[in-house]
Structure 1
């Protein structure tokens, strides 16, 4: 798969012949990588659309749904191309366009406009527009508009909210803009799009939606891993559903994540302070679960190594669970230095109680959002039980995050983020790598000196030094496979394979 995608995206352009072959075979592996627009019908589809394959001379290909929409095509009602997993390319790449895409997905354009997006990336609006249009054919505004349209459809199909409320919740500036966009993108009106659908039964005030993933995907394993790290008051695990508080732009929200009945996706139940945070909440849940990964590309590379082949066969499509916020991941990584998982959870729960943001009212056992850096700068952590040096590291990290010296946002430059973290007293290479792995979602991270990895490598007859140069560009996934050998109780659902002799 990696080779096929590399060829298809050669030179950052789409190879029309290879794209057409993927469409003709209805290859679901390419869903989200590109979109097929059919000139004779004016419709764009995902590559795996079950409709009759159009003639090669009647199609064109776009790297984003926004590009197809801007070219005048409307979304297919049968395959719903706007609802596919996002392109994994934006998580793999570290250039400006990829960073911009991650920020747009996190709602930066809705919060601060294109000017704010450009400022966050250190570019002028003109420079950023030129770079994004040069690669994707459309600018940041069109990409954000496509995201708003998808948010609107989710709300129309899963809630009984008035259409006017949905328009503003999805980020549209006016009802007219909302109506025009829905007609252009879906070739129907908002009322017709809602049709006779009724939201699934559930608790009042909760939104229920499906988060798609590329197969193979084992939702129970990902949720179990998160549940094994759950911190009291912030997160909850009942053996099937993982719940946690999300710190969102307009107030804390709560999400409950459980395996969907189809076995290939996740059901998310969201309770938000304001509906306009829905798009951001969905993006952060997808990041948390690593739903936009390309598992076949990962497995293809890792399985070629005899040391990992058995692990990959036993756990195809293994994901790298993260945190919804990299700043939270950094603080939790510091709290977990040189202590057990249980100790790290205890320290984090105490920090949460000391400086976290209380929910207006508890939701089950969930009581607080994780403290923002500004709240940690001067927080009294004496009762947490940390050493003096560790408290100073937490305060220094929080100060760096609060004043911008350490940027761990969705659009952060990963190399610069690593350098900034290393400059914080008390933070070393292992902590930096853990933040990159479970905070920034970097797919190619190795944890130097990690004891659990060393135990697994010894069993495989390898060494830390050797492993640090292998398994690129998917070392993060190799880390999860090796952790599974060392701590199998956090990775159930898959049998532990025999270690190759």
Structure 2
């Protein structure tokens, strides 16, 4: 996890490794860039801390982590902290208190910082116009965008675009190219191997280390490509029908490949286990992968046969022609699959709102297990991919690995399914 250093005498905060050497008595540390900004500090122009991964500590309370997941999904874009708290069974006041205590910011401040940092990366990496950057980053208006950028970076968007370095700009033959930052270690080969083993035919593919998948945005098709980029980032190439809300596409893509959480504490504690410890030593960069579409992960956990999955996709999915790489359809919705015999009960429960596939927790596991055809292991697999720390989609109970069984399970599944490099 990145720890940011803020200097009281300059009002600037930096990422680790910055060349600035202030006196120790003048330095404050923050675990989140958003917390440093909320305390009145601005980002260093030299080390550009907005370009590194800003993950939440894995020892933060699960309620806070679930709230962060919902913020990343865009809950605060169209509603306030009260609505976010209601989703978690908390008052807005209690939610703010938990965020202040564990993250040093309010939920609104956290969301604003993420939008501003994403916008700054778009200004650096792409040639999108200023207005497109604003709406791609989740801001509701240009005025709101300009105000937030000035408050966080002490400059206008145009001034920041003019400051970008020659090597920042990313180009491709088509699509929008973005960096997905992470803090090493991160084992893309292992993660790509897992995604290849679990790819839904017609919807996902992995070829030559590049993960590709079809997506649907408000009924319009798109294509995502994710692959290696550098020692601290992957590259996402997004082919989309429009740029509005691209921040949520990038955040969901980052969650899919396990970049939203950094298992520092979990890795340290599991390293002492006689079974999991050697696996961690061999591949310390394993992360718990997330999901692009929670419903499709649920269906995949129930329907393990690739041929049956392919038939579901080609029968009920929306055709997306001309993509190549074996990609032919967007995954069907729960409403559409409610008519499918094999997964009808699950699809109906999701379509009717009886099961909310937003965060992985014990409530989700119990709800899934109550659906005909959903096994305990399938329910735990879905919860693991939706952010649960302590899911166990394998045989047995593994009580000695609590409360970090999800990471342990990922190590075991990777070891079984993907050869070590």
TM-score, normalised via structure 1 length: 0.76
Q: How big is each residue's C-alpha offset from its partner over 1:67-113, in whole Å with a ceiling of 9 and x where there is no partner?
A: 22222211122232233323243697422x22211111121111444
1:64 CA displacement: 2.8
Instruction: Give distance in 1, aligned partners of 2:189 and 2:394.
Output: 29
Structure 1 SS opposite 2:329: strand
1 or 2, which has the higher helix percentage? 1
Which residue matches 1:201?
171
Which residue matches 2:19?
51
Q: 1:300 to 1:118 in 2, by over 3 A?
A: closer
Which residue matches 2:350?
401
Which residue matches 2:361?
414
Structure 2 SS opposite 1:257: strand
Q: Is the 8 A contact 2:170 2:178 kept in 1?
A: no
Which range moved further: 274-283 or 363-372? 363-372
1:167 CA displacement: 1.6
Residue of structure 1 aligned with 2:388, choices 436, 442, 456 = 442
Instruction: Give distance in 2, aligned partners of 1:397 and 1:92.
Output: 32
Trace 1:267-416 onto structure 2 (pairs within 5 A): 267-336=235-304, 344-359=305-320, 361-364=321-324, 365-378=326-339, 381=340, 391=342, 394-409=343-358, 412=359, 414-416=361-363
Verify: 1:71 aligned to 2:31, yes or no. no
Structure 2 SS opposite 1:51: coil
Q: 1:35 to 1:167 in 2, by over 3 A?
A: same
Where does structure 1 lack aligned partners over 5 or more consecutive residues?
Answer: 1-29, 337-343, 382-387, 450-463, 494-501
Instruction: Give distance in 1, aligned partners of 2:373 and 2:24.
Output: 59
Trace 1:98-497 onto structure 2 (pairs within 5 A): 98-195=65-162, 197=165, 199-204=169-174, 206-248=175-217, 251-260=220-229, 262-336=230-304, 344-359=305-320, 361-364=321-324, 365-378=326-339, 381=340, 391=342, 394-409=343-358, 412=359, 414-437=361-384, 439-449=385-395, 464=396, 468-487=398-417, 490-493=418-421
Instruction: Give distance in 2, aligned partners of 1:285 and 1:264.
Output: 16
Q: Is the 8 A contact 1:109 1:144 kept in 2?
A: yes
Verify: 1:42 aligned to 2:11, yes or no. yes
Instruction: Give distance in 2, aligned partners of 1:123 and 1:478.
Output: 30
Where does structure 2 lack aligned partners over 5 or more consecutive residues?
Answer: none
Structure 2 SS opposite 1:243: strand
Q: Is the 8 A contact 2:360 2:383 kept in 1?
A: no
Structure 1 SS opposite 2:13: strand
Which range moved further: 102-111 or 242-251? 242-251
Q: Is the 8 A contact 1:163 1:190 kept in 2?
A: yes
Instruction: Give distance in 1, aligned partners of 2:123 and 2:180.
Output: 16
TM-score, normalised via structure 2 length: 0.89
Instruction: Give distance in 2, aligned partners of 1:296 and 1:157.
Output: 30
Instruction: Give distance in 1, aligned partners of 2:150 and 2:242.
Output: 25
Q: 1:253 to 1:37 in 2, by over 3 A?
A: farther
Instruction: Give distance in 2, aligned partners of 1:87 and 1:160.
Output: 27
Q: Is the 8 A contact 2:99 2:107 kept in 1?
A: yes
Q: CA RMSD in A?
A: 2.6
Q: 1:294 to 1:165 in 2, by over 3 A?
A: closer
